[in-house]
């Protein structure tokens, strides 16, 4: 019986080793690298040991806060469609990389704090966090899936994708900046896209507005509390947008941004954080050459905005 147990244990050990080695080989393929690039987790491979500036938020935070002041190290934890609940969990997970005195920028998109995330979208986004968070920082985790993925992605990925990764010449997809970092939207195209953007963006907020989603405000409150506890300098920042984009929200409700400010400013004040609203900044609201689409800045716009943003901060922390 003991020999049988030892043989089974040896077999499991060999099988586990093969799965692990195969998974590590898969992670070197362009198929895996494209998956990481698509969902934004590729940057976590190069997370610095310590950062001077940490940025959290959704895609607006990711695209608009790219250029730190000279001599400062920035890491942007923002990802497309990322909710404040996952901003909080990333902040908890990687807090040891953010030393006391660091600047923490929490980018606030117009749909927050009124957003209600559809379950389907939550499930679509969930898998990326299994690769960069520990189980205690995941929302509603499937622990079996988590640990299978940690042992080997061969246990979680579709077989056709796995087969293609090793047998086909899969090209490495360009990053967003490589593909469209210098794109410019025209005033005509922005105007033409307004109806579609209006329908999409407003569909995210109608369930709550003008009331805030308490899940979101609780997440912001916990982030600000953690910033205060760790001695970080916190800033809630609404990035700049084209006028055609902000018009989508004011056409839905003329006081939309006033309501957002009335919710977020007291939160910032409560924890000694700044609240900076650039949503209608005249230096950017009509500068179509600064945007790649209706609401996301291109590299030229992001660089111009970052110069203004950091110059506008008071400087006791060196920014």
Instruction: Give me 269's structure tokens.
Output: 């004040």
Whether pLDDT at 145 is above 50: yes
Instruction: Give me 138's structure tokens.
Output: 């995941």
CA neighbours within 13 Å on the CB side: how many for 106? Answer: 33
Whether pLDDT at 302 is above 90: yes
Instruction: Give me 24's structure tokens.
Output: 């590590």
pLDDT band at 238; cut points 50, 70, 90 = very high
- 1-50 pLDDT per residue, tens: 677 677 677 777 877 787 788 788 888 898 889 889 988 999 999 999 99
Whether pLDDT at 316 is above 50: no
Q: Which residue has the higher pLDDT, 77 or 22?
A: 77
Place of tokens 């912001």: 220
The predicted model gives 217-234 an average pLDDT of 98
Inter-helix orientation angle 243-252/256-270, to 10°: 100
Can you give the pTM of this predicted structure?
A: 0.93
Nearest Cα to Cα of residue 278 among 294, 261, 262, 292: 261
Instruction: Give me 179's structure tokens.
Output: 């593909």
Strands laid side by side in the 53-56 sheet:
74-76, 53-56, 103-107, 233-238, 274-277
The predicted model gives 123-146 an average pLDDT of 93
In angstroms, the first-to-last Cα distance of the chain is 68
- Backbone phi and psi for residue 107, each to the nearest 5 degrees, phi listed first: -75, 130
pLDDT > 70 fraction of the chain, expressed in percent and rounded: 97
Rg of the chain (C-alpha set): 22
Whether pLDDT at 314 is above 70: no
Pairing, β 233-238 against β 103-107: parallel
The predicted model gives 155-176 an average pLDDT of 84
Helix, strand or coil for residue 137? helix
The DSSP-derived string for 103-131 is EEEEE--TTTTT----HHHHHHHHHHHHT
């Amino acid at each position: 019986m003991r020999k049988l147990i030892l043989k089974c244990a040896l077999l499991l050990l060999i099988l586990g080793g093969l799965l692990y080695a195969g998974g590590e080989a898969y992670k070197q393929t362009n198929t895996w690298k494209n998956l990481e690039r698509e969902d934004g987790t590729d940057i976590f491979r190069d997370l610095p040991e310590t950062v001077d500036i940490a940025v959290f938020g959704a895609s607006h935070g990711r695209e608009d806060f790219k250029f730190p002041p000279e001599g400062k190290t920035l890491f942007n934890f923002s990802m497309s469609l990322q909710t404040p609940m996952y901003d909080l969990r990333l902040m908890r997970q990687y807090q040891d990389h953010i030393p006391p005195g660091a600047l923490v920028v929490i980018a606030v998109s117009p749909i927050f704090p009124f957003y209600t995330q559809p379950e389907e979208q939550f499930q679509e986004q969930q898998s990326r966090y299994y690769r960069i968070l520990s189980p205690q920082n995941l929302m509603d985790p499937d622990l079996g899936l988590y640990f299978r993925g940690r042992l080997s992605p061969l246990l979680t990925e579709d077989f056709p994708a796995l087969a293609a990764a090793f047998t086909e010449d899969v090209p490495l997809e360009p990053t967003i900046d490589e593909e469209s970092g210098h794109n410019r939207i025209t005033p005509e195209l922005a105007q033409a896209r307004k109806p579609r953007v209006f329908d999409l963006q407003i569909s995210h907020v109608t369930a709550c507005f003008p009331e805030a989603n308490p899940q979101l405000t609780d997440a912001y409150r916990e982030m600000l509390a953690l910033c205060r506890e760790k001695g970080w300098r916190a800033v809630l920042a609404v990035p700049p947008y084209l006028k055609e984009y902000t018009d989508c929200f004011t056409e839905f409700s003329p006081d939309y941004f006033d309501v957002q400010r009335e919710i977020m400013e007291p939160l910032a004040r409560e924890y000694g954080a700044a609240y900076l609203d650039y949503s209608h900044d005249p230096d950017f609201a009509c500068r179509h050459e600064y945007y790649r689409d209706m609401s996301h800045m291109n590299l030229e716009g992001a660089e111009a905005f970052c110069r203004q943003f950091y110059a506008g901060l008071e400087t006791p922390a060196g920014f």
